A and B are shown apart, each in its own frame.
Chain A
Amino acid sequence: MEPKFNLNRQPVSDEEINSKKDFGELIKQFKKQSIEKARTDENFFKNKKVTYSTIIAGVAVLCTVTYFAVFNQESSKKIAHEKTITKPLNSKPVLGNKSYISPPVSKLNIPYSTYRVKTQKGATIIHNNSSKIIIPKHAFLDKKGNDIVGDVEIKYREFHNQADIIVSGIPMTYDSAGVQSHFESAGMIDIKGYQNNEPVYIKPDKKITVEFISEQTADKYNMYFLDTISKNWAYIKRDNSLIQYKKELENKNASLTHQLTNLNTQNIFELEKQIKEIPQKLEQAKNDYSQKINQLPKITSPNKLAQATEGKPKFELDVDYKEFPELAVFKHAVFEVGAENKNYNPKVGDITWSSAEISQGPVKGKNYELTLKLKDKVEKLIVYPVLTGTNYEKALKVYESKFNEYQKLILKRETEELRLKNEFETKQATYKNQEKQLSDRLVKEKIKQAQQKEIKLDKDFKELGTLDKVTRIFEISKFGIYNSDCTNQLPQNATLHAFFITNKEKIHLKTQAVYLICHSKNLVYHLPNGPIPYNPGEVYSICVLANNKLYMCDKGTFATVIASHTNKILLTELDNIQDAFELKKAIGI
């Protein structure tokens, strides 16, 4: 049968091809097939021929063993004795059963710090100038439940970062109802107590408090205790340390803000008060000025003497000069009837009046009202003081002299008035200037206050967001390993079927453990052999344990591996590192 011939068939897209790729399924099928094959092999041994052959071979082996047992009894006994004494008491078979806490390279493990505590006194231990271990008095019991007296040795260590986690060998996976997750750590502690190399126990009502200084400042962690019997972490409670810290910080900030506000308000209040005083001061200055002007001696111009007009009627009067001092200069003056007396009857001058009185006229100091009375008859006239003949000339001389004096006084007064005016205006300008300056300062002070508030708010915000360290409080009711962690799932977006080779010898490494180090979180994924999961865009480095040595693929190299879609990961042997700190540097965290 001839095949069908297709011309220009539509190609299959890469997406479709990739969607069908399923390495997991391949492995599943492979394992299934392997199991079936193993069963088939098992059935092979059930075959009669095989069974008989096995029995014959067994008998032969048994004979051989018996022979050696009989003829080499002496030496055999000797070996058995040696084995008995070399085998440690209570030892459990450990072959193929790795310890639950298994440091990859023991020399790199975090060492314990040992502190000696007098149980009668209790103690507050400051660990490495940071964390605080508070031990109450009489806090310990021995294994029989008796109170411990004397000194107790406290062994303590801390784990802060990915390097510490790797070297510790502490499992960082958490199984919650069958769902396995990986711990992102805010820090772990390991605390133990001994007396004479015997472990001691903590009394239930005498919990030890550890104020652990954590470099992780987020508020998302829970506290766990490592149960080495059930081989899982046991949830204790939510880690509320940061909430407490935030409260303290808020209180502290509130107090600082209050102080700041008070200080600023004080300045502003003072300025506003000073500004408010300026108009009052101006008013006062104005009043002072007016008062001073008023206090200047009053200068009245001398009355110019009028010469008598011939033909106009005149009255001679006996004037009380005390009552009319201005008329003192008019000694010998007569009072001439003014032109305004239209209806003046010349006969009035012929009457002998019983009383004649003068009072101020319509033009003060200039004319007077003359009231003449005789019984019921009253005549009112407007009169002007005038001088006649030599009296006028004498009076003119006196007037001129007084007028000169008057002019001098006027000049003096004007000078004084000008001085007072200048003084007032200077004062006024000073106050106005002061008012302007104070207003400017007030505006600046208000801006400064707003800025200070802004800076403070900004600082507070930053302080909350970028705290360097946070104190996390562990309450220790039993010795062991505690952590403040939160759970993470394995990255799921991509996988890498990695193949590890050393960069020096270019040999393939059979890995004992693969640690995927997440750089954006304090997180290490301890991976089984197999594909490496990762999320593109995240920064990772890889640490590998092989041949009981640590190897490293730094973040740059790993990023290149991902970008170049290769599977080959070149590893550098970390042969020079001596402790976790050096591993941390090598990882680049």
Chain B
Amino acid sequence: MLLDAVHMEFSPRYHHTADMLLEEQMIIESAKQNPEHFGAIYDKYYKPIFGYIYQRMDCKETAFDLTAQVFLKALTNLEKYEYKGVPFASWLYRIAHSELMQLFRTQKNLRTVNADIGDLKHICEEAEEEYMEQYKGSLMTVIKQLPEEQLQLIELRFFEKRPFKEIAEIMDLTETNAKVKLSRILERVKILLTKTSK
């Protein structure tokens, strides 16, 4: 597996230096006293959170509503938020994930998987399988059939191109754990793909 060697886009929106983390923490502490100060956080993370939600559904309006809901929940529960040395975004992603799951429990048909053809090729490369056009349908079927947590990992890694550190923080895993889990998923994909192709 070449998981570490694959170049992944660096996300400055998510990744923070120590100073950036401190600054963000100060904003949050300030927003706990005055919700108006939450504006800086809202400005910073609105687009990524919307992107995360919309990646998993087709309805744009629902995605926008859900984004608003995520921030309202975050602001309402801000008192409970505790700094754990990771960007505040990971907390927001977890709220977003929770909101999505809640929605999909009642409206399963809203769940969609969105990818580019390049992303599928990337999965094949990672699974050490040569990508062929006829694999496309099978690969899509295999991915759709994955359990939610595994699908989530595939989405975060290959469709959203997030580094393991970020994936680990969003999914509340260790980085190594995230790598191991994804490696297993890829093995499973490879097997399923071989079976489906036959």
Chain A interfacial positions (CB closer than 8 Å to B)? 1-9, 12, 14, 17-18, 20-23, 25-27, 29-31, 33, 495, 497-499, 501, 506-508, 510, 529-531, 567-568
Contact = CB atoms under 8 A, between A and B. Distances in A.
B158 interface: no
B36 A531 contact: yes
A12 B116 contact: no
A279 B145 CA distance: 118
B46 A21 contact: yes
Given A508-B29, A510-B30, A567-B27, A497 B40 contact: yes
Interface in B176-197: none
A20 B51 CA distance: 13
Interface of B: 22-23, 26-27, 29-30, 33-40, 42-44, 46-47, 50, 54, 58, 60, 64, 67-68, 71-72, 75-76, 108-109, 111-117, 120, 136, 140, 143-145, 151
A510 B44 CA distance: 21
Contact of B42 (A8, A23, A529, A530): A23
A31 B75 CA distance: 10
How would you classify the secondary structure of chain A's contact residues: helix, strand, loop or mixed?
Answer: mixed
Nearest to A507: B26
A499 B30 contact: yes
Contact of A501 (B26, B38, B58): B26
B64 to A, nearest CB: 5
A27 B35 contact: yes
A533 to B, nearest CB: 12
Contacts, number: 112
A30 B72 contact: yes
Given A12-B54, A21-B42, A497-B42, A529 B36 contact: yes
A1 B112 CA distance: 11
B112 A5 contact: yes
A30 B38 CA distance: 11
Contact of B37 (A25, A26, A497): A497
A25 B39 CA distance: 11
Nearest to B31: A499
29 contacts: A1-B109, A2-B145, A3-B113, A4-B58, A4-B109, A4-B112, A5-B115, A6-B113, A7-B117, A7-B136, A8-B117, A20-B50, A21-B43, A21-B46, A30-B35, A30-B72, A30-B75, A31-B35, A33-B76, A497-B42, A497-B43, A499-B27, A501-B26, A507-B26, A508-B26, A529-B36, A531-B36, A531-B39, A568-B23
B108 A1 contact: yes
Given A5-B144, A6-B58, A12-B60, A33 B72 contact: yes
Given A5-B112, A499-B37, 7 more contacts: A2-B144, A2-B145, A7-B116, A20-B50, A499-B23, A529-B36, A531-B36
A497 B71 CA distance: 15
B71 A26 contact: yes
Contact of B33 (A22, A23, A510): A510
B43 A20 contact: no
Contacts of A25: 68
A580 B80 CA distance: 44
A312 to B, nearest CB: 143
